[in-house]
Every structure is written in structure tokens, then in C-alpha cells.
A = this chain, B = another copy of it.
Amino acid sequence: MSDVGDLQDGVDRWIRENGGYWDEMSLLARLVEETGELAREYNHRFGAKKKKVTEKDKAIADEMGDILFILICMANQQGIRLDEALSKVIAKYEIRDAGRFSGN
């Protein structure tokens, strides 16, 4: 299960079997919540935040999975294919930032 379209379809089925999509602003808030949790893990691992012994080590991979899950929900709701969206980003970078790296 690693084709992006299949992943999006799989999440779509799961969501529809489990109550349907939240409204757009609630999904956005959830994305922010998950981004905050990844920030917390990054601070523990790469930043200055001292980890308390009692805190559970929730893996960075889990938080990234949570973010991707919500992002897929949001994309599905808007009828967006994420692999196409990503292709555009890469095309955009190649044009826009060309001179930025080469020094021209």
C-alpha cells in the first residue's frame, strides 16, 4: 500500500465508514494540533526542551504519520490528488529558485 492514490482512497473509505469528514476548519485545526505535537518531539530531540523522565517517547514517525493522515483527509475533501500537487511544487522550485542556488 504505497501508491499515493491508493493511500488517499484507503483513507477515504476508512473515513466514510467511521462517521465521514469533519468540516474544513476543524480538519485544519487538527492539522495544527498534529503539527504542534511534531514540534514538541523535535524540541525534545533536536531543540532545547529538557525531556522529563515520565514523558512517553512518542515517536517522530508517528507524528509524521498523523500529519500525513490529516493532510490526506483535507486533500480528499477538496478533491485534490497529493502526488499531482507535489509534482507542481517540484516544478515550481526548479523554475523559481534556479538562480538562487546557482548564484545567477
Contacts and interface: CB of A to CB of B under 8 A. Distances in A.
A63 B40 CA distance: 15
Contacts of A67: 71
Contacts of A78: 60-61, 64
Interface of A: 1-5, 7, 10-11, 14, 18-19, 22-40, 42-43, 45-50, 52, 60-62, 64-69, 71-72, 74-75, 78, 80, 82-90, 92-93, 97, 100-101
Grouping DSSP codes into helix (H, G, I), strand (E, B) and loop, the A interface class, with mixed when no group exceeds half, is helix
Contacts of A24: 42, 45-46
Q: How many copies does the complex hold?
A: 4
Contact of A32 (B10, B39, B75): B39
Contacts of A34: 36
Nearest to A92: B62
Given A32-B36, A32-B39, A36-B37, A46 B25 contact: yes
